[in-house]
Amino acid sequence: MKKNPSNAKIVIVEDDQKLADLIEGQLKRFGYDAYQITDLEQIDQEIMQINPLLVILDINLPYYDGFYWCRKIRLHSKVPILFISARSGDMDMVMALENGGDDYMTKPFHPEVLIAKVKAILRRTYGEYADGTEKNEITYQGLSLDIERNVASYEERRVTLTVTERLLLTLLMEAKGKVVERDRLLTALWDDTQFVDDNTLTVNVARVRKKLTMIGLADCIHTVRGQGYRLEISEDVGGNQ
């Protein structure tokens, strides 16, 4: 179901109080309801109580790191998660996305870039880029995708997707075996591509490939060099797993 993101509840998980206050102030300036997590030992529980539309999550935290908390949150919520970190290495971004995050920002960042990413995430998840409720399921070559629940299924096996993974798979399934260009995927998934590292798409494609393999669909997303990706499920793929 689409929601109005204009006054969205956004949770901030950041142990640097000065930065947390800055982020909260910037979000409130743009009309969002911003909440700082106060108990850094019970982050997932506080998030469940607040029920936000977006979580801004630092990686370096006391007790447990952001990767741990992202996995905990994913056990019972598909809320989009934007990682922020002073770590600038590619592996940190890969780990953030592999652990269930939807996007990644490196500190220090300009407040306008933060707001641009927040707006893009909310738009694609709840706004004009979100899938409408009139189409709850799509199918292609035996693969089914429950859009409302973010669940992909094939021959009685099921796997849960993040919002970004579900949007990516939706575009590939709707193309029905045709190539979906990288630029189209980037624009549809992240809206303002000037703030998105091209590696982010590569990592998310790898995540979807991994999850499709879990339900018996290995090697179904093909890279078309210099163009993009296409989804093709061979007739005997189920029997080869």
Closest CA to 24 of 52, 56, 66: 56
111 and 183 in a single domain? The answer is no
100 and 184 in a single domain? The answer is no
With tokens 């790898």, the residue in question is 206
Neighbouring residues of 119: CB distance < 8 A, sequence distance ≥ 6 = 5, 191, 192
Decide if 190 is inside a domain: yes
Decide if 132 is inside a domain: no
Strands (DSSP E) contained in 17-166 are 33-36, 54-58, 81-85, 103-106, 137-140, 143-146, 151-154, 157-160
Q: How many domains does the chain have?
A: 2
User: Tell me, what's the pLDDT at 73?
Assistant: 93
3-state secondary structure of 7: helix
Q: What is the CATH number of the domain that holds 196?
A: 1.10.10.10
Q: Tens place of pLDDT for every residue, the chain, 241 residues? A: 455 566 789 999 999 999 999 999 999 999 999 999 989 999 999 999 999 999 999 999 999 999 999 999 998 888 999 999 887 677 888 888 888 888 888 888 888 889 988 988 888 777 654 544 445 788 999 999 988 788 999 998 999 888 888 889 999 999 999 999 988 888 777 655 555 566 788 888 998 999 999 999 999 999 999 899 999 987 655 544 4
Decide if 131 is inside a domain: no
150 and 96 in a single domain? The answer is no
Of the three residues 99, 126, 153, the one that is the final residue of a domain is 126
User: Tell me, what's the pLDDT at 132?
Assistant: 45
109 and 168 in a single domain? The answer is no
Task: Return d(Cα 201, Cα 165) in angstroms, integer.
Answer: 10
Q: What is the DSSP string of 128-142?
A: TTSPPTT--EEEETT
Residue type, 183: D
User: Tell me, what's the pLDDT at 222?
Assistant: 94
Task: Return d(Cα 209, Cα 222) in angstroms, integer.
Answer: 10
Neighbouring residues of 24: CB distance < 8 A, sequence distance ≥ 6 = 12, 34, 36
Closest CA to 206 of 221, 190, 226: 221
Of the three residues 126, 157, 174, the one that is the final residue of a domain is 126
122 and 156 in a single domain? The answer is no
110 and 169 in a single domain? The answer is no
Q: How many CB atoms lie within 10 A of CB 108?
A: 7
Contact (CB, 8 A) for 137 and 145: yes
13 and 44 in a single domain? The answer is yes
Identify the domain containing residue 106 by its residue range: 5-126
User: Tell me, what's the pLDDT at 198?
Assistant: 66
65 and 175 in a single domain? The answer is no
Q: Cα-atom radius of gyration of the chain, to the nearest Å?
A: 18
163 and 230 in a single domain? The answer is yes
111 and 20 in a single domain? The answer is yes
144 and 206 in a single domain? The answer is yes
User: Tell me, what's the pLDDT at 241?
Assistant: 40
The CA distances from residue 128 to 34, 110, 174, 200, in Å, are: 22, 25, 18, 22
Of the three residues 71, 98, 126, the one that is the final residue of a domain is 126
115 and 157 in a single domain? The answer is no
